[in-house]
Structure 1
Amino acid sequence: MSTRADLPTVASLEELTRLVTSRRGLYVRWSLGPACDLPHARSKDDLTGLRLPGLSASSLDIEAWWSERPAKIWVARRLYDYCHLPRVKDPRTRPWLLHGREAARGPDNEPLVTDVEPLGWISDRVTTEACDIITEQPGGWGTLARDGTPR
């Protein structure tokens, strides 16, 4: 599939949730996009500089232990966990949807994905909606930001 910036865009959290519940092996990756990622198809560990055997991504597959909880909240959480990346890495960082195969685990236990098929960009509107849903949840969920950046 194309690695160009003109991939389709997932425009709503509802649409993304439908995709996630209809197909396994979907991931979200926060980066500059497939055009930058796919020529190397390998992430780099920020601490050590090591090249990893795949692209780091977050699985969108709903785990069995999630049980009967709403799929929309699962998907929102998966986006929310890394919504800090544009602030701490590069403001051009955006989430994009891909299908792939988990080949290994990275240093933060994140999936390292190969055989990547880019499916589309995830719009800012979807990320905003996901963040709104999660911040409204009881218990004060936080992102995976580790740098002390306010959430």
Structure 2
Amino acid sequence: MHEGDDLPVVRTLAELTDLVEGNRRLYVRWSKGPDTDLGDVSSTDELTGVPMPGLSANPLDEERWWEGRPLRLWVARRLYDYAHLPHEKGPGIRPWVLQGRETGRGPDNEPLVAEVRPMCWIDPGVIDEARAEVENQTHDWGPLDRTGHGRGS
């Protein structure tokens, strides 16, 4: 049994999109989960070891410049951009959604979030849906290619 298993699980991209549409100040965090993270409530800069004033997370809130484009694609892109993290950070790393207050920026300009309220886990199938949604786009994604070998290769 994983830590935080008492949290609900979002099982589809549509369900996650509905959650984002109905709430503000939502973030996705890729970690072992809230039970581990909330004991400390701060991330550490891996390069320097300096503690930061909040958990590093990635915002799910739609930006104004998105200008009415499909929220589903926005959410898919936010997941796609960081879907490589479980592979890089090792076993037990999973995405989960939290609500909180931004307290600063980390060294990669990511939001640091405090007053964290865990919302739900994100099922791996949602990540697969997000990947498919992004890969169905006709525009090149330039440096956001996370496969290491370019689109269409």
TM-score (norm 1): 0.90
SS at match of 2:86: helix
| 1:54 paired residue number | 54
Moved over 3 A (4+): 142-145, 148-151
What is the CA-CA distance between 1:115 and the residue it aligns to?
A: 0.2
Q: Distance in 2 between matches of 1:70 and 1:117?
A: 26
Match of 1:85, as an amino acid? L
Q: Which sections of structure 1, spanning at least 5 residues, go unmatched?
A: none
1:119 aligns with 2:119: yes
Partner of 1:65 in structure 2?
65
Percent identical residues: 52
How far apart in 2 are the matches of 1:102 and 1:24? 12
Structure 2 unaligned residues grouped into runs of 5+ = none
Per-residue CA deviations over 1:66-112 (Å, capped at 9, x if unaligned) read 00210000000111111001111113211001110001111111100
CA shift, 1:144, in A, is 7.6
SS in 2 for 1:118: strand
May I ask how many residue pairs the two structures share in their alignment?
147
User: In 2, Cα distance between the equivalents of 1:103 and 1:150?
Assistant: 36
Alpha-carbon distance in 1 for matches of 2:4, 2:95: 15
Describe the SS at the equivalent of 1:108.
Answer: coil
Contact 1:101-1:115 within 8 A present in 2 as well: yes
**Code of the aligned partner of 2:46:** D
Which deviations, in whole Å up to 9, do the C-alpha atoms of 1:113-151 show, x marking residues without a partner?
000000110000101100111122123325486xx8568
Query: Quick one: distance in 2 between partners of 1:144 and 1:60?
Result: 20
Deviation (angstroms), 1:45: 1.2
Q: What is the RMSD computed on CA atoms of the aligned residues?
A: 1.8
> Is 1:33 paired with 2:11?
no
Q: Rate the CA distance shift 1:150–1:48 in 2: closer, same or farther, 3 A.
A: farther
- Determine helix, strand or coil for the equivalent of 1:103: strand
